[in-house]
């Protein structure tokens, strides 16, 4: 599998993981956990965009 595709897949996984962690943080009223989820989600978005950019460059 190409690097861009792997980045996109891993980015989506980080986004989902981040949304779950953020939701758990909201339910438990744990701000640290909520912020950790937001950070994970953002990291996933960046990785997804990086994968998209790699695919464009390789075309």
Average pLDDT over residues 16-39: 97
Residue 29 region by backbone torsions, left for phi larger than 0, else alpha for psi between -120 and 50, else beta: left
| Domains contained in the chain, number | 1
Residue 16 vs residue 1, higher pLDDT? 16
pLDDT at 19 (0 to 100): 97
Tens digits of residue pLDDT in 8-27: 999 999 999 999 999 999 99
Domain with 13, as residue range(s), is 3-58
Q: Give me the pLDDT at residue 39, please.
A: 97
Mean pLDDT of the chain: 93
């Amino acid at each position: 599998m190409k690097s861009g595709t792997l980045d996109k897949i891993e980015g989506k996984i980080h986004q989902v993981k981040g949304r779950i962690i953020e939701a758990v943080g909201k339910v438990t009223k744990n701000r640290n956990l909520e912020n950790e989820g937001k950070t994970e989600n953002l990291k996933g978005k960046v990785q997804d965009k990086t994968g998209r950019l790699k695919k464009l460059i390789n075309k």
